[in-house]
Amino acid sequence: MSVFVEIDRVDRVFPLPNGGKYIALKNIDLKIRQGEFISLIGHSGCGKSTLLNIIAGLDQPTQGGVILEGRQVTQPGPDRMVVFQNYSLLPWLSVRENIALGVDEVMAHRSKDERKGIVEHHIDLVGLRQAASKRPGELSGGMKQRVAIARALAIRPKLLLLDEPFGALDALTRGGLQEQLMKICQESKVTCIMVTHDVDEALLLSDRIVMLTNGPESHIGQIIDVEIARPRQRLEVVNHPSYYQLRNEMLYFLNQQKKAKHRQSKLPQIVARNGLEKVNLEIGFIPLTDCAPLVVAKEKGFFAKYGLEEVTLNREPSWKAIAQGIVTGRLDAAQMVAGMPLSLTLGAGNKPKMPVVCALTLSRNGNAITLSKQLYNQGVRTLADFKSALQATPDKVHTLGMVYPSSMHNLMLRYWLASGGIDPDGDVNLTVIPPPQMVSNLKAGNIDGYCVGEPWNSRAVYEDLGFVIATDLDLWAGHPEKVLGVREEWVNKYPQTHIALVKALLEACEYCDDLRNREEILALLTREQYVGSAPEYTRPGFIDPYDRGMGEAPQQLPRFNQFYVDRTNYPDQVEGLWLMTQLARWGIIPFPKNWVSILERVRRIDLFGAAVRELGMPDVGRDRDSIRMFDGTVFNPDNPIDYLNNLEIKRQIRVEEIDIDDLVTPVA
């Protein structure tokens, strides 16, 4: 079914009396089908009514927009009708006259008898025939709300907007009106969006329930599909096998948001004195082509521009050393593989939990899977060929290198193998090897291939040691690769310094994606203190066409190293959720039942937004879409556990609540 209403990356910002701004809604992205009943739910202050007013045209978004049947909503109109909690009836008019008011205005082109017929039909529709001549003062609360619903429906709107329409009613009256509304919507096939605090009401009426996170910067945390057949009866809904599971899921979400609000309230408010709280930083990185933003920020003066007077870039020997540097406090911040902030926060590998914040994606793509030249000489060209080679040598253990358990290298390599029916823990052996040591291990015959970033794939091709069987553009183009990782404690202690660090790196990322700067950046990267690699095997993919070492002409890959374009830097939470599903798939972590809370705490879109706004850059998030992989598998961010259970090759999936609420890191 085609999209009927599209809420496209809507933000709403309100000015404050002190000159500041309050961001009520952030990056609301939702597509609604015709005839759907959508409920918006969340704690008070999360912007539910604000969003409803924007859809109605009663308020304007600060950014983004609402499209109804292909036309942008810019003002109120008769194609959208709102039913408020407080009825909003004219007290001097009767029931009939209140309903007729809108009909006469909108349908003035129709005859008087036609308009009268429409009014009388809707009086009967809501069961108010006996009260048609009464004024609002003579009606009960439930009857008044029926008049409001009849008045809204009588002008035949395309979209019915309900702002807690039954919130002030007693339980018996509310139940009767809910059933009447269900019947009316079913018969008229009107599309509805309703704001409610009542989880049972949402389950009874909705096709989908959109749950919003706490404000400020409220956004969609989760969407629940209510797959209960229509027409619905209250008792049938309550007795449905999935009713209590769905209800508990909603209550769990709301409870987690309540805990997050309480945790946030306990953090002290830090006010920076004399600018930044800290100006000398130690930042870790690994010698890879995609460390470019850090090198550029140092060498081109972006760190200094934002007050970070003394930044030392520490070339680390491995991702394990990066993790240890952050945990022990030796490093203030670091370039990290995408899954590291999550794995450190969740205590992967039975390690102590250490909350780590990611407010910036530094790069996307940039990896490849390289296999040995011996496999190429045996006829391996595809994943199916590789599987055949494994089956042909059952006594040989084939070993593949990856750089860190929670890296995209490990997760993408495992995904690629499993998509071809190869169990990465049973059919091959995966081992951790630091990126600069990959080529020497391949040359020594210790491994049969690896997944790593550049320039270590191109070096194997250049030295005729291996060939690239797949790049990550073949598997998931645009995936998150490296991120900025900082201890939560550090962010709480040095908030202004952290924002300055993000701003400096954002400018550096933009500089890196201007292709006119790539030759200059290459000269910086090949310096010994950074990557120290030869230009001839550092250029492919970064500047020159990419050579896979398979006898074909090198291929131009303009997005192979992506640092800024296409909203690269946004710390997308859907991508973070995919990372958690893959970590759980292979037994690296249990899948967190409280995944929304963990994503809110680790992947900090609020801090990213603060930095880009200070820079005057567009504060625009990425679409909240499903992720489609190369093998046709679709990851739905609202059903991660179903996604995990439907994967064929996996370890035993554990779903646990991972308690991080007691990890409120103190400020010294």
How many Cβ atoms sit within 10 Å of the Cβ of residue 560?
24
> Are both 325 and 251 inside the same structural domain?
no
3-state secondary structure of 177: helix
Q: Is 90 in the same domain as 163?
A: yes
The structure tokens listed for 218 are: 């409220």
Residues 260 and 315 grouped into a single domain: no
CA–CA separation, 38 and 101 (whole Å): 28
Q: In this prediction, what percent of the chain has a pLDDT beyond 70?
A: 97
Identify the CATH number of the domain in which residue 335 sits.
3.40.190.10
Assess whether 242 and 148 both reside in one domain: yes
Report pLDDT for 273.
Answer: 42
pLDDT at 554: 96
Q: Is residue 427 part of a domain?
A: yes
User: Under a CB-based contact definition with an 8 Å cutoff, are residues 545 and 556 in contact?
Assistant: yes
Express each pLDDT in 238-285 by its tens digit: 999 899 989 998 998 998 888 888 777 766 554 444 489 999 999 999
pLDDT for the residue numbered 268: 56
If asked whether residues 225 and 309 sit together in one domain, one would say: no
Q: What is the mean pLDDT of residues 212-224?
A: 92
Question: Sign of dihedral through CA atoms 180, 181, 186, 188?
Answer: positive
> Contact 182/164 with Cβ under 8 angstroms?
no
Which three-class secondary structure state does DSSP give residue 19? coil
Provide the pLDDT confidence category of residue 429 given band limits of 50, 70 and 90: very high
DSSP structure string for 198-216: -HHHHHHH-SEEEEEPPSS
H or E stretch at 116: helix 112-125
At residue 298, the pLDDT reads: 98
Q: Domain containing 258 — which CATH number?
A: 3.40.50.300
Side-chain-side CA neighbours of residue 481 (13 Å): 29
Residue 529: what pLDDT? 95
Average pLDDT (200-223) is 93
Determine how β-strand 3-15 pairs with β-strand 63-68.
antiparallel
Structural domain for 226, as ranges: 36-64+71-265
For residue 495, tell me if it sits in a domain.
yes
Exposure of 235 by Cβ count < 10 A (0-12 exposed, 13-18 middle, 19+ buried)?
exposed
The pLDDT assigned to 256 comes to: 86
- Residue with tokens 């240890």, as numbered in its chain: 324
The reply to whether 575 and 499 lie within a common domain is: yes
> How much is the pLDDT for 188?
77
CA angle 458, 462, 463 (to 5 degrees): 120
pLDDT at 419 over 70: yes
Same domain, 321 and 225: no
pLDDT tens digits for range 147-182? 888 888 787 888 989 888 877 667 777 787 788 788
Work out how many domains the chain is built from and give that number: 2
The helix (H) or strand (E) run that includes residue 462 is helix 456-462
Q: Are residues 320 and 223 in the same domain?
A: no
Outline where 355-450 has alpha helix (H): 373-377, 383-392, 408-419, 438-443
Average pLDDT along the chain: 92
Residue 30 lies in a domain: no
User: Is residue 79 within 8 Å of residue 67, measured between CB atoms?
Assistant: no
Does residue 364 sit in the same domain as residue 324? yes
User: Cα angle vertex 346, ends 341, 347, to 5°?
Assistant: 100
pLDDT score recorded for residue 269: 52
Within a domain: 179: yes
Runs of H (alpha helix) within 535-645? 573-585, 595-602, 605-615, 640-645
Q: Give the pLDDT of residue 260.
A: 82
Q: How many residues does the chain have?
A: 668
The DSSP output letter for 602 is H
Over the Cα atoms of the chain, what is R_g?
Answer: 29
Tell me the pLDDT tens digit for each residue of 362-403: 999 999 999 999 999 999 999 999 999 999 999 999 999 999
SS (H, E, C) 40-70: EECCCCCCHHHHHHHHHCCCCCCEEEEEECC
Q: Tell me: the pLDDT tens digits for 562-586?
A: 999 999 999 999 999 999 999 999 9
- Please indicate, yes or no, if residue 13 is contained in any of the structural domains: no
pTM comes to: 0.86
Q: Is 28 helix (H, G, I), strand (E, B) or coil?
A: strand
- 1: in domain: no
Last residue of a domain, one of 231, 265, 299: 265
Give the C-alpha separation, 295 to 300, whole Å. Answer: 8
- Tell me, what DSSP letter sits at residue 307? T
In one letter, which amino acid is 582? Q
131 vs 138: CA distance, rounded Å: 9
Dihedral sign (CA 490, 491, 495, 500):
positive
For the stretch 322-362, pLDDT in tens is 999 999 999 999 999 999 999 999 999 889 999 999 999 99
Q: Determine how β-strand 634-635 pairs with β-strand 561-562.
A: unpaired
Does a structural domain hold residue 453?
A: yes
Q: Which two tokens stand for residue 18?
A: 């002190």
pLDDT in tens, 587-626: 999 999 999 999 999 999 999 999 999 999 988 888 888 9
CA-nearest of 520, 576, 98, 165 to 337 is 576
Please tell me whether residues 310 and 229 are part of one structural domain: no
The domain boundary, picked from 243, 265, 287, lies at 265
pLDDT tens per residue across span 491-525: 999 999 999 999 999 999 999 999 999 999 999 99
Q: Are strands 449-453 and 367-372 parallel, antiparallel or unpaired?
A: antiparallel
What counts of helices (H) and strands (E) characterise the chain?
Answer: 25, 26
Phi and psi at 282, nearest 5°, equal -110, 115
Burial of 460 (0-12, 13-18, 19+ CB in 10 A): buried
Q: How many CB atoms lie within 10 A of CB 234?
A: 13
Checking if the pLDDT of 289 tops 90, the result is yes
pLDDT above 90 (res 29): yes
250 shares its domain with 295: no
User: Does residue 668 share a domain with residue 589?
Assistant: yes
Q: What is the pLDDT of residue 368?
A: 98
pLDDT at 224 over 70: yes
Any idea what DSSP says for residue 269? P
pLDDT band at 233 (very low <50, low <70, confident <90, very high): confident
Among 211, 239, 265, the domain-final residue is: 265
Looking at the domain assignment, is residue 438 inside a domain?
Answer: yes
Q: How does strand 280-285 pair with strand 310-315?
A: parallel
pLDDT of residue 300 exceeding 60, the answer is: yes
